[in-house]
C-alpha cells in the first residue's frame, strides 16, 4: 500500500490552490453542521460521505483542514494514488478495493494513524467510486464498518454532498454534516449490520439535504466560498436573511416570491 507522508507546507499550498479552483468552478460552496460536530472531544473522527464528483474529497478536506484546523487524512483508491504521488504529502493513503488482504492492511494503517496524533480525522467514501447523486441504494462497501470495529473508540460523522444549478451559470455545492455518533470498544455490531446502519443514516441525511436544496431552504447554510462576480459572503448571507424574513412576513413560499 501507499502510506501518507503529510507535509504542512505542501498541504497549505494545496488548500490555497483548491480554494482558487473552487471559486472558478462553483458559484458558491455552502455548509451546515450540527453544533456538536465541532464540539469538544478527544476521539479521532471518521467523516463518511457520498461520492458524486471528484470535488467531494477536495472540498471536504478544505473544510476540515483549512477552516476547522483538523489534521485531515484521506483514504484513496490505489488506482487514483499511483498517478498522483503528491497526494501522500497532503494526507492521502491508498486502499486496494479488490484485494481483501491489502484492504485489511489499509484499515490497520488508518486505525494506527488516527490513534497516534491529536485532532486527527479521516475522509472515507464507502460507495467505493463516483456515482450519480440520486442513485439509490447507495450500496456501501463494508470497509468503513470494518474500520469502526477495528478502532473501537471513534467518532463518526455522516456528510451529505449535493451539486445543483440554481440561479447562476455555475453549480452550487452544498455539504450537510449530520449528527456525530460515538462508538466505544468493543463494537458489538456485526460488520454487515453496521454497514446497513451507516448507509441508512447517510441516505436520510442526503434526502434531507435534497429537500432543502430543491425547495431553496438555504437559511441553515453558511457560504464558505463564492465565485468572484457572484456575491460576497456578507451580501449573500444578508440576501438570504432578508428573503427569509420577507417570506415569513407575507406567508409566501419560494415559488410565490419568485413570480
d(CA 246, CA 252): 8
pLDDT at 257 over 90: no
Could you report the per-residue pLDDT of 183-201, keeping only the tens digit for each? 988 888 899 999 999 999 9
pTM for the model: 0.86
pLDDT average, residue stretch 121-133: 94
Nearest to 36 by CA among 120, 140, 155: 155
What is the spatial distance between Cα 58 and Cα 193, in angstroms, rounded to a whole number? 30
Q: How confident is the model at residue 236 (pLDDT cuts 50, 70, 90)?
A: low
Residue 97's pLDDT is 81
For 56, residues 6+ apart whose C-beta sits below 8 A from its C-beta are: 49, 50, 125, 161
Structure confidence at residue 237 (pLDDT): 57
For 6-73, the DSSP string reads --HHHHHHHHHHHHHHHHHH-SEEEEEE-GGGSSS--S-EEEEE---STHHHHHHHIIIIIIS--EEE
Helix (H, G, I), strand (E, B) or coil at 234: helix
Q: Which of 140, 142, 159, 55 is nearest to 100 (CA)?
A: 142
Helix (H) or strand (E) holding 150: helix 143-151
In the chain, pLDDT over 90 holds for what percent of residues? 67
- The per-residue pLDDT of the chain, averaged, comes to 89
**Could you read off the pLDDT of 144-190 as tens digits, one per residue?**
999 999 998 999 999 999 999 987 889 999 999 999 999 988 888 89
Counting Cβ atoms within 10 Å, is residue 16 exposed (0-12), middle (13-18) or buried (19+)? Answer: exposed
Q: What is the largest CA-CA distance in the chain?
A: 62
Q: Which whole number is the average pLDDT over 203-221?
A: 95
Cα(83)–Cα(64) distance, rounded to whole angstroms? 25
Q: CA-CA distances (angstroms) from residue 155 to 42, 44, 48, 70?
A: 9, 6, 11, 14
Q: Which of 66-75, 145-154, 248-257 has the lowest mean pLDDT?
A: 248-257
Residue 4 has pLDDT above 80, yes or no: yes
Amino acid at each position: 500500500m501507499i502510506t501518507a507522508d503529510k507535509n504542512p507546507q505542501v498541504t497549505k499550498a494545496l488548500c490555497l490552490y483548491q480554494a482558487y479552483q473552487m471559486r472558478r468552478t462553483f458559484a458558491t460552496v455552502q455548509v451546515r453542521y450540527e453544533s456538536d460536530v465541532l464540539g469538544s472531544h478527544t476521539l479521532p473522527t471518521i467523516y463518511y460521505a457520498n461520492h458524486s464528483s471528484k470535488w467531494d474529497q477536495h472540498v471536504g478536506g478544505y473544510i476540515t483542514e483549512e477552516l476547522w484546523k483538523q489534521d485531515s487524512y484521506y483514504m484513496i483508491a490505489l488506482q487514483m494514488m499511483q498517478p498522483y504521488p503528491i497526494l501522500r504529502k497532503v494526507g492521502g493513503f491508498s486502499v486496494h478495493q479488490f484485494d481483501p488482504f491489502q484492504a485489511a492492511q489499509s484499515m490497520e494503517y488508518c486505525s494506527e494513524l488516527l490513534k497516534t496524533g491529536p485532532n486527527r480525522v479521516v475522509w472515507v467514501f464507502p460507495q467505493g467510486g463516483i456515482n450519480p447523486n440520486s442513485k439509490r441504494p447507495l450500496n456501501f462497501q463494508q470497509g468503513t464498518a470494518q474500520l469502526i470495529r477495528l478502532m473501537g473508540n471513534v467518532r463518526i460523522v455522516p456528510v451529505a454532498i449535493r451539486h445543483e444549478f440554481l440561479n447562476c451559470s455555475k453549480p452550487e455545492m452544498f455539504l450537510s454534516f449530520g449528527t456525530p455518533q460515538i462508538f466505544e470498544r468493543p463494537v458489538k455490531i456485526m460488520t454487515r449490520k453496521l454497514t446497513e446502519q451507516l448507509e441508512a443514516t447517510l441516505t436520510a441525511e442526503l434526502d434531507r439535504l435534497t429537500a432543502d436544496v430543491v425547495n431553496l431552504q438555504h437559511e441553515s447554510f453558511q457560504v464558505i466560498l463564492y465565485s468572484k462576480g457572484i456575491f460576497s459572503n456578507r451580501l449573500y448571507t444578508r440576501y438570504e436573511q432578508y428573503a427569509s424574513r420577507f417570506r415569513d412576513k407575507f406567508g409566501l413560499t419560494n415559488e410565490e416570491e419568485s413570480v
